[in-house]
């Protein structure tokens, strides 16, 4: 049991006015402080390599895609967001995806695809914004997913660093 | 011909002063949101126009396009009438507020103050109309056929009765000292800072200031609205432009009350350190004083929590009324003994 002891009010407290003035001076000081609101579209959220945004496909410097359409990310995806059809090429690496769709409305940004990928071809980028007027436009195809490897480098380095532990 | 010019001059005055006051009321709604935001570490409206200055306009357009709802079982005529009755008395009060000592308008005889109408009983007139403003609240609350509205209206009227009394008694002390019921003459008597009534009647100033908060249903005495307990109080059931009209009335009432406070206690249109200032200096100075008090109203609203209703009544009847009576008694005795 807790006994709350009522504090005896002093005369100045019972007169209200000094306390009201104290409160007013407090709010007046706050008025000149910097607002903590972020003006979102103009000031986007700061991202870094740890940010797990939407998955993107890495493209090498020589414009070849890293993905070999092995289907491991498709299998790992808990939300069934990835669809891959592969085909063969005459390059040394014989396979590449013909179709690589990620349904961004299904994607839960879990990063399993990134972990499953044996070829370091898919990474969680720092891209977070997703909006459109129809659902079909949010099923991204391979051209919308391709990003040059330079852009994904910080994430790649971070993933390597983390994986060194195993 | 003279008649026509007189009418035109009056229409011109009405247009300028009412346009200005309603514009000021609109800007006060913006200031309210801005200041509240600053106090809460926010930015406030800043999307419509530079610094959010067009926000009141956007709000107005939005209100006009909103659907108007009338609750089932409401008394239609009273429901329609209430917002008008709430806004009208506040706007009537503006008519007699003197903005400068000399009117620059053609046709006004020398010595007429700059106001829409110069009455020698303007104090009485303004108090009578501010007393009427509660009818809008009562009718709106009653006609809505809603328990929240009715409770808000009841509280509003009880509060009005309690505080109007001490407000009048506080002003009576000033009137006794000034010996006139003319707002312009009261303002002229305070032409230097040392003559301001705030120094000679500090208690009356305090009582009047606090009573104006209650009179205009502002925090910490906004029992007619009382969002957390009564949803929205008397205007719970209102929507669209009728709702906006209540707020226009409220802000006009605040402006009238601020200009009364300034006129009674802070020299009205008199310019500090410049006794015979021309009208185009006096009017902006008067406006600046009003704006300072508008800021005080907003500042207090976002600082203090709401009173409890019984505390409000206790404060009104047990503290303010005796203090105001004692103040009037002492002032009356001093005036009778010709100390002042």
Widest Cα–Cα separation across chain A = 93
pLDDT of residue A80: 92
Say whether pLDDT at B110 is over 70.
no
Query: Cβ contact (<8 Å) for B38 and A31?
Result: yes
Whether B323 has its CB under 8 Å from any CB of chain A: the answer is no
Query: Cβ contact (<8 Å) for A30 and B39?
Result: yes
Rounded Cα distance, B279 and B269, in Å: 9
Neighbouring C-beta atoms of residue B331, cutoff 10 Å: 22
pLDDT band at B66 (very low <50, low <70, confident <90, very high): confident
pLDDT in tens, B209-251: 988 888 888 878 877 776 777 777 777 888 888 888 888 888 8
- Tell whether B230 is covered by a domain: yes
| Cis bond upstream, residue B328 (ω within 30) | no
Whether B41 has its CB under 8 Å from any CB of chain A: the answer is yes
pLDDT band at B312 (very low <50, low <70, confident <90, very high): confident
Q: Please report residues of B whose CB lies closer than 8 A to that of A28.
A: 299
- Tell whether B38 is covered by a domain: no
The domain containing residue B303 runs over which residues?
Answer: 64-336
- Tell whether B283 is covered by a domain: yes
Q: Please report residues of A whose CB lies closer than 8 A to that of B51.
A: none
B-proximal residues of A, 20-39, CB under 8 Å:
20, 23-24, 26-28, 30-37, 39
Whether B43 has its CB under 8 Å from any CB of chain A: the answer is yes
Q: What is the DSSP string of B154-211?
A: HHHHHHHHHHHHHHHHHHHHHHHHHT---HHHHHHTT-SGGG-HHHH-HHHHHHHHHH
- Tell whether B233 is covered by a domain: yes
Domain total in chain B:
1
Would you kindly state where each structural domain of chain A is located, as residue ranges? 55-163
pLDDT of residue B134: 83
CB B116 within 8 A of CB B95: yes
Whether B299 has its CB under 8 Å from any CB of chain A: the answer is yes
Whether A92 has its CB under 8 Å from any CB of chain B: the answer is no
pLDDT in tens, A80-122: 999 999 888 888 888 889 899 999 999 999 989 988 988 889 9
A-proximal residues of B, 244-273, CB under 8 Å:
none
CA distance B164 to chain A (A): 21
The low-confidence residues of chain A, meaning pLDDT below 70, are 166
- Tell whether B139 is covered by a domain: yes
The closest of B258, B130, B129, B259 to B184, measured between CA atoms, is B259
Top CATH class of A55-163 equals alpha beta
């Amino acid at each position: 049991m807790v006994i709350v002891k009522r504090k005896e009010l002093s005369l100045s407290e019972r007169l209200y006015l000094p306390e009201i003035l104290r409160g007013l001076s407090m709010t007046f000081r706050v008025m000149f402080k910097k607002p903590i609101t972020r003006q979102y579209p103009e000031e986007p959220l700061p991202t870094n390599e740890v940010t797990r945004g939407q998955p993107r496909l890495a493209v090498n410097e020589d414009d070849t895609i890293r993905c070999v359409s092995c289907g491991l990310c498709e299998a790992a995806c808990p939300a069934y967001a990835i669809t891959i059809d592969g085909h063969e090429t005459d390059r040394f690496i014989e396979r590449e995806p013909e179709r690589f769709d990620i349904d961004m409305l299904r994607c839960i940004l879990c990063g399993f695809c990134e972990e499953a990928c044996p070829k370091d071809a898919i990474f969680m980028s720092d891209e977070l914004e997703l909006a459109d007027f129809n659902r079909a436009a949010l099923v991204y195809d391979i051209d919308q997913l391709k990003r040059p490897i330079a852009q994904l480098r910080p994430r790649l380095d971070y993933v390597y660093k983390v994986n060194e532990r195993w | 011909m003279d008649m026509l010019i007189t009418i035109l001059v009056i229409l011109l005055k009405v247009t300028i002063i009412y346009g200005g006051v309603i514009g000021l009321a609109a800007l006060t709604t913006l200031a309210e949101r801005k200041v509240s935001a600053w106090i809460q570490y926010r930015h406030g409206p800043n999307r419509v126009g530079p610094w959010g200055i067009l926000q009141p306009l956007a709000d107005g357009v939005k209100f006009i396009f909103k659907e108007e709802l009338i609750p089932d079982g409401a008394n239609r005529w009273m429901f329609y009438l209430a917002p008008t009755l709430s806004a009208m008395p506040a706007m009537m009060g503006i008519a007699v507020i003197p903005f400068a000592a000399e009117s620059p308008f053609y046709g006004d005889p020398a010595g007429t103050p700059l106001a829409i109408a110069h009455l020698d009983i303007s104090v009485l007139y303004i108090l009578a109309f501010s007393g009427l403003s509660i009818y809008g609240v009562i009718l709106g609350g009653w006609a809505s056929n809603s328990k929240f509205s009715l409770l808000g209206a009841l509280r509003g009227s009880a509060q009005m009765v309690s505080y109007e009394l001490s407000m009048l008694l506080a002003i009576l002390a000033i009137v006794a000292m000034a010996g006139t019921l003319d707002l312009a003459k009261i303002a002229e008597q305070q032409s230097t800072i040392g003559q301001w009534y705030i120094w000679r009647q500090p208690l009356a100033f305090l009582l009047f200031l606090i009573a104006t908060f209650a009179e205009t249903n502002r925090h910490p005495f906004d029992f007619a609205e009382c969002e957390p307990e009564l949803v929205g109080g008397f205007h719970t059931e209102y929507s669209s432009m009728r709702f906006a009209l209540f707020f226009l009335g409220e802000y006009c009432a605040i402006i009238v009350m601020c200009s009364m406070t300034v006129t009674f206690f802070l020299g009205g249109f008199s310019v500090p350190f410049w006794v015979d200032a021309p009208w185009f200096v006096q009017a902006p100075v008067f406006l600046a004083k009003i704006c300072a008090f508008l800021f005080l109203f907003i500042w207090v609203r976002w600082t203090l929590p709401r009173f409890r209703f019984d505390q409000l009544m206790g404060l009104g009847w047990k503290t303010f009324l005796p203090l105001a009576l004692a103040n009037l008694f002492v002032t009356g005795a001093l005036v009778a003994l010709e100390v002042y």
